[in-house]
Amino acid sequence: MGKFGKLLLAGTALTGLAGAAAAEGTIAYFAATSQNGFNQATYEGVQEVAAARGYDTEILDGQFDAAVQYSQIEDALASGRYVGMIVAPNDSVGIAGAFEQVIAEGIPIGSVLFPIGPDLNSLDPQVEGITVTAASPPVPGATSQAGAVVEYCADKDPCRVVIMIGAQIFPFDNLRLETFQSVLGEHDNIEVVAVGEGYYSPDPSLQAMSDILQANPDVDVVLSNADQHLVGVEIALEGAGIDPADLYLSGGGAAAIAISAIREGRWDSTLAYFPKTMGALAMEQIANAIEGGPVTQAINMDEAGPIEAMIDAEVLAANPEFTGEWEQ
C-alpha cells in the first residue's frame, strides 16, 4: 500500500468520528461522465470518506462534454448547496476558469485523474488556491507502457503495433498518444500500423479494431490507455480468428476484468490509476480543508496506490489479493 493509502486509513480512523460530529454539508463530485465504471469507482471512494467525515455527496454527470461540465460547476457554485467540490475534468485547461470562481468564494475544490492547467505532468497547483490534485501524470505512465512494448518487440522485426487511444479531442489522450509514438518511434523494428479511438467504451473499440484489422490483418501488439478498449479489441481479434493470447495487449485503469485477463494470460499489462483510492484520497484532503486541518496538495497516484501502478503477471503474483478497484 502506498504511503498516502496508509495515511488515508489512519486519518479516517483518527478523525472520522470527530469530523462526523462537527461537519455537515454536501460535497459535489463532477464526473467526466457518470456512465462508466471508472468514474463510479472514484465516486465510491469519495462517498466512503465523506460518510466517515460526516458529509453528504452528490454526483453530476459531465457527459464527456467540457462545456457541460463548466456550466455544472458554475451552477453548483451559484446554488450555494455545496461545501466542497471534486472534479474529474473533461478539459483540464479550459475548466481552470470555473475553478477560479469556486476558489474565489472560498470553497475547497480539487481535481482527480488530471491536474488543472496547461501542464498535464505537473501536480503542483497551476491554479492558485486549488486544494488537492490526485492524479497520474500522463507521460511517465505512457512511457512505461510503451517501454514494455519495446521489450516485447525486441526479437520481432517487424513488430506491428496498433494504438487504441480514448479520443484525440482530449489533451491528455493526445499527450499519451504522442508519448507512445515518440518511444516506439525510436526503434526501427517497430511499426505503428494504425491508431484507433475507443472513446473509453468497448463498442466503439470493437468497431475501430475491426476496421483496422481489415487493412492490417497481421498485428503483434495493441497498446491502449484504457481497459474498456481492450474488451472491444479482444472481441474484434476473436472475430478475425486471432487468439488474443498470441498478441501483447496493454490497457489502462486496472479494472477487475483486466486483472482477471492478465492472470489468465489473455492480456499482458495494465497501467493502474486506482480510481477508488484516488477519490478517497482527494476527499480526505477536501474534508481537511473544510475543517481547517493539514492538506496535501499533490498526490501522485503512480505512487499512492495499493500496489505498483504498472501491473503485469509478475506484479499480480506478488499481490494475489488485488482484484482491481472497478469493473470496467
Cβ distance 274 to 41 under 8 Å?
no
Number of domains in the chain: 2
Residue 24 belongs to a domain with what CATH number?
A: 3.40.50.2300
Give a yes or no: residue 193 inside a domain: yes
Residue 10 pLDDT: 35
Residue 170 pLDDT: 85
Cβ distance 248 to 221 under 8 Å?
yes
Residue 43 shares a structural domain with residue 144? no
Number of neighbouring beta carbons within 10 Å of residue 238:
11
Give a yes or no: residue 147 inside a domain: yes
Residue 252 shares a structural domain with residue 146? yes
Q: How far apart are CA 149 and CA 96, in angstroms?
A: 35
First-residue to last-residue Cα distance in the chain:
22
Q: What is the pLDDT along the chain (328 residues), one digit of tens a residue?
A: 454 444 443 333 333 333 333 468 999 999 999 988 899 999 999 999 999 999 999 999 999 999 999 999 999 999 999 999 999 999 999 999 999 999 999 999 999 999 999 999 999 999 999 999 999 999 999 999 999 999 999 999 999 999 999 999 888 899 999 999 999 999 999 999 999 999 999 999 999 999 999 999 999 999 999 999 999 999 999 999 999 999 999 999 999 999 999 999 999 999 999 999 999 999 999 999 999 999 999 999 999 999 999 999 999 999 999 999 998 7
Residue 147 shares a structural domain with residue 204? yes
Residue 13 pLDDT: 33
Residue 130 shares a structural domain with residue 218? no
What is the span of the domain harbouring residue 117?
3-136+273-307
Residue 37 pLDDT: 87
> Residues 6 or more apart from 78 whose CB is under 8 A from it?
none
Domain end, chosen from 272, 289, 317, is at 272
Residue 11 shares a structural domain with residue 132? yes
Give a yes or no: residue 320 inside a domain: no
Give a yes or no: residue 325 inside a domain: no
Residue 90 pLDDT: 93
Cβ distance 83 to 27 under 8 Å?
yes
